[in-house]
Structure 1
Amino acid sequence: MQLNFKQLASLPIFNGICEEDLPAMLNCLGSFQKNYQKDEIILLEGNEVRSVGIILSGIVHMVKEDSEGYQTLLVAMKDGELFGESFSCGSHLDAHVSFFAAAPCTVLFLPFHKIIHSCKISCTFHHRLIENMVQLIGDKNVQLMHKIEVISKKTLREKILTYLQQQALDQDSRQFTIPLSRLELAKYLCADRSALTRELSYMQKDGLISYEKNTFQLL
Structure 2
Amino acid sequence: MYIFSRLTCIFIIFFSSVNIARAEVIATFYSHEFGQNFPHAFVILQGKVDSTGEIVDQDYGFTAKNLTPAILWKSVKGKVESQSEKYIAKSDARFSVRLNDAQYAIFMEKIAEWRDRGGNSYNLNKSNCIHFVADLITLSGLHINPESKFYKKPKSFLLEVMSLNEGLALIEPPILIEENGETPKATPIEGAVNAAS
Q: TM-score range by the shorter chain?
A: under 0.3
Larger helix share, 1 or 2: 1
**TM-score, normalised with respect to structure 2:** 0.27
**TM-score, normalised with respect to structure 1:** 0.26
Instruction: Between the two structures, name the one with larger relative contact order (CA 8 Å, sep ≥ 6).
Output: 2
